[in-house]
Amino acid sequence: SLGYAYVNYHQLNDAERALDTMNFSMIKGKPCRIMWSQRDPSLRRSGVGNIFVKNLHESIDNKQLYDTFSLFGNILSCKVVTDRETGKSKGYGYVHYETAEAANAAIEKLDGMLIDGQEVQVGHFVRRNERPGQHDWTNCYVKKIPLEWDDDRLYKEFSQFGEVLSAAVAKGVRKTKPKKADAKDDDDDD
């Protein structure tokens, strides 16, 4: 399974009842999200009616976000972003309204308001590559450098590509996981 499905009904009332009843219900320990199928991807891609909500209290889940924002219009999709491993909220989410007017009303009324005791920021969703100053970003993250490198060596290696403003090697205790062969050897000792 790819983790999603489509259900087609003969009657609109049946589909509405399923959406109202089953949305956010638990399936195998996870809340399912049910929304109207959008066969035309242009609505999703256009970004019209899509808002970003940040600084959400960790207790806010998909249902609470939906219930709070549904007061302003028909919601096509609503999601609190969670950590894949822990399932805990990352403190932000998305709400996609059917209309720009509904999105604007939600932004106007809820930006700066307290939700579950925490002031949230609500604004239009802007794709990462369209955010102001995104092309000015010049930091590079470097992985898998030799353990013996220090700041000066890193600076020297990367200076050949242009003027480097700063270069810093992360320091601390290196966390290592036992290799599979080592773990197997440990099992053999028993």
Q: What pLDDT, on a 0 to 100 scale, did the predictor assign at position 114? A: 92
Could you give the CA distance from residue 141 to residue 159 in angstroms, rounded to a whole number?
15
- The predicted-structure confidence for 83-102, as pLDDT tens digits, reads as follows 988 889 999 999 999 899 99
pLDDT digits (tens, 9 = 90+) for 117-171: 999 999 998 776 666 665 666 788 888 888 889 889 988 999 898 888 888 888 7
Instruction: Give the number of other Cβ atoms within 10 Å of residue 65's Cβ.
Output: 23
| Helix H or strand E segment including 153 | helix 151-159
Contacts of residue 19, defined as CB under 8 A and 6 or more positions apart, other chains included, come to 34, 35, 36
Looking at the whole model, is its pTM more than 0.85? Answer: no
Q: Which residue has the higher pLDDT, 154 or 187?
A: 154
Separation of alpha carbons 59 and 88, rounded Å: 9
